[in-house]
Amino acid sequence: MKGCTKESPCFSWGRMSKRYPLYFPILLATFCGFLFPVSSILFMLWHDNQPLTWNTIIALHRVHYDLIIIWTAPLVLGLFGNFIGKFIALAKQQGDSLERRTAQLNTILDAAASAIITISKTGQVLSFNKAAEHIFGFNADEIIGKNVNLLMPSAIAMEHDAYLQRYLNDTASPRIIGKRREVEGQRKNGEVFPVLLRVNAVNMDGEPVFCGLIDDISETKLLQNQLGQAQKLEAIGQLASGIAHEINTPIQYIGDNLSALLDNFADISAYLQATDQLADPALKPQLDELADKYDLNFILEDSPKAIKQAQDGVERVAEIVKAMKSFSHVEQNQDKQTVNLHEALNSALTISRNSYKYIAEVETDFAADVGPIECYANELNQVFLNLIINAAHAIEEKQAGMGLIRVITRNLGDSVEVMIQDNGAGIAAAIQEKVFNLFFTTKAVGKGTGQGLSLAHSIVVEKHQGKLFFESSPERGTTFHIQLPVKLDA
């Protein structure tokens, strides 16, 4: 057995109080009880001017029998101390239990992936867990005590207080209480984003309190839109590939027949010239009259031009068919492919020609040292298509006559850069940091979903480990830079 030391004493009040929680209250009460008879005896001896000896104390008890009753005070107070000690121990036990449960509850709330927010009947925020801080960008100290409207876009915030009052006045017809629905939230930086919200009403101390469970579904919506876009592109690709295949064969027939027709017409023209030279001069007037009657000279001059124009049209259709086949060609397993970047850009320009042909001229400046790159062709084609169409819309918005779209490529060593420039209306400085946000759009209702640039950013940055950024000046135009690695990481 170890001896007593300064560091490890034999007796410790702290250890005793923890091991015997009633020990201190009983001793304290008993000690206070002893003060009654002791102080009474001392007072009586002092009053009678007698010395403090055992004989005088015994004699004092013989005269004053009530001192014996007073000696019961330590016992009574000791029992009272025992009662108080038990009460304190029970209260402490319940307090510790409540504290543990509160700590556990707070830990669970802070560990929850969903934002959990409680508000009062007036809309004041009462609690704000860690997930809510992460999702909305506010610290709990910044938002608790303030109106929950701070977490909503202005259009929804304006109606929220009125909705609370309608619910409090008529709880029989709640529209969102207890139901899960998709709404919009607003972060501290002003970004509006989609959330799933479920609100439940509870009664605390006779007052209604509303608890909201909120999940940020921005990434889910983005993935859904990407999947939807991929499915649409796959369907369009299959349709375009089928149409291109079906058109290709008759176009080849038409092209071959036009070439043969042009050769045949040249032979006919040569034949007519030869017969004109061999004809009897006496018949010349009659032959000239017939030629005038049937516009032979016009036919001989115009028909080769018409056939040549038809051949140009067939070549144009063949070019479009080739672009459709190239644009829609994606491997079935959706794996990365090695593609010719310039062919992909030319295909995108051909496919989107209808969106810019009356609005802008197109110039290309393709660097000769840009070779094939590894990419996910389907998604990358969609990025090129979106940016070209956006450039056409920016020029149309400016309303300053024919504009110019330039598509430029450059070799950056381990990566390549594609620049799509326009001299359109440009992007206002106030909204430039928002253009890649999901669902953000400056277009009129029905003309834009706010998904194009967000999807383009996700495809270039996340899927291709590249960069997508822009330079823009109002009324001078915008240049989008797409930087892509030549070889994708495994």
The tens digit of pLDDT for each residue in 172-194 reads 455 566 677 888 899 988 888 88
Q: Can you tell me the distance from the alpha carbon of 326 to that of 377, in angstroms, rounded to the nearest whole number?
A: 10
Q: Which pair of tokens denotes residue 82?
A: 């025992």
Task: Report yes or no on 104 lying in a domain.
Answer: yes
- Are 320 and 436 contained in the same domain? no
pLDDT for the residue numbered 412: 92
Tokens found for residue 83: 């009662």
Co-location of 308 and 454 in the same domain: no
Helix (H, G, I), strand (E, B) or coil at 409: strand
367 falls in which pLDDT band (50, 70, 90)? very high
Q: Where are the beta strands (DSSP E) in 132-189?
A: 180-186
**Residues for the chain: how many in total?**
490
Per-residue pLDDT at 233: 58
What is the average per-residue pLDDT within 292-309?
A: 84
What is the C-alpha to C-alpha distance for residues 485 and 376, in angstroms, rounded to an integer? 12
Helix then strand then coil, in percent of the chain rounded to 5, is 55, 20, 25
* pLDDT over 50 (residue 446): no
List, as one string, the DSSP characters of 257-272.
Answer: HHHHHHHHHHHHHHHH
**CA–CA gap between residue 69 and residue 206 (Å, rounded):** 52
- Over 80: is that where the pLDDT of 308 sits? yes
Instruction: Give the closest residue to 133 by CA, choosing from 214, 63, 14.
Output: 214
The reported pLDDT for the residue numbered 463 is: 85
Tokens describing residue 454: 């967000």
User: Do 308 and 344 fall within a single domain?
Assistant: no
Structure-token match 């000769």, residue found? 368
CA distance 432 to 409: 24
- 55 with 180, same domain: the answer is no
Confidence of residue 204 (pLDDT cuts 50, 70, 90): confident
Pairing label, strands 403-411, 360-365:
parallel
Question: How large a percentage of the chain has pLDDT more than 70?
Answer: 75
Per-residue pLDDT for 278 more than 60?
yes
What's the domain count of the chain? Answer: 4
Selection from 34, 136, 32 nearest residue 81 by Cα: 32
Mean pLDDT of 418-437: 81
- For residue 481, give the H/E element and its range: strand 477-485
369: confidence class by pLDDT, cuts 50, 70, 90: very high
Q: Does 126 fall in a domain?
A: yes
Higher pLDDT, 96 or 487: 487
Answer whether residue 1 is part of any domain.
no
CATH number of residue 457's parent domain: 3.30.565.10
- pLDDT at residue 441, rounded to an integer: 54
Which amino acid is located at 139 in the chain?
N
Residues 467 and 341 in one domain: yes
Is 483 within 8 Å of 412 (Cβ atoms)?
yes
Q: What is the pLDDT of residue 416?
A: 95
Q: Which of the listed ranges 135-139, 222-226, 310-314 does the model predict with the highest average pLDDT?
A: 135-139
Cα angle 328, 329, 330; round to 5: 110
Q: What DSSP character marks residue 427? A: -
Residues 28 and 163 in one domain: no
Single-letter residue type at 228: G
Residue 132 has a CB neighbour count (10 Å cut-off) of 24
One-letter identity of residue 414: D
**Residue 7 in domain:** no
What domain range is 414 assigned to? 335-490
Long-range contacts of 24-28 (CB under 8 A, 24+ apart): 24/85, 25/81, 25/82, 25/84, 25/85, 25/88, 26/78, 26/81, 26/82, 26/85, 27/81, 28/81
**Any domain includes 5:** no
Q: Are residues 256 and 309 in the same domain?
A: yes
Crossing angle of helices 377-398 and 218-278, rounded to 10°: 80
* pLDDT for residue 249 is more than 90: no
Based on the fold, state whether residues 84 and 195 are members of the same structural domain.
no
DSSP letter string over 106-122?
HHHHHH-SSEEEEE-TT
Residue 92 within any structural domain of the chain: yes
- pLDDT at residue 15 is higher than 70: no
How far apart are the two ends of the chain, measured CA to CA in Å? 67
Range 7-29 average pLDDT: 54
Distance from CA of residue 300 to its chain's centroid?
Answer: 67
Position 11 confidence tier, pLDDT thresholds 50, 70, 90: very low
pLDDT at residue 330 is higher than 50: no
The reported pLDDT for the residue numbered 318 is 74
Q: Which of 87-96, 259-268, 324-333, 406-415 has the highest mean pLDDT?
A: 406-415
Co-location of 191 and 254 in the same domain: no
The answer to whether residue 409 scores a pLDDT higher than 90 is: yes
SS3 54: helix
153 occurs within a structural domain? yes
pLDDT digits (tens, 9 = 90+) for 68-119: 666 766 676 667 767 777 777 787 778 777 777 767 777 777 777 788 888 8
Where a domain ends, among 56, 78, 109?
A: 109
pLDDT at 459 over 90: no
Q: What is the DSSP letter of 389?
A: H
68 inside domain = yes
Compute the radius of gyration of the chain from its Cα atoms: 46
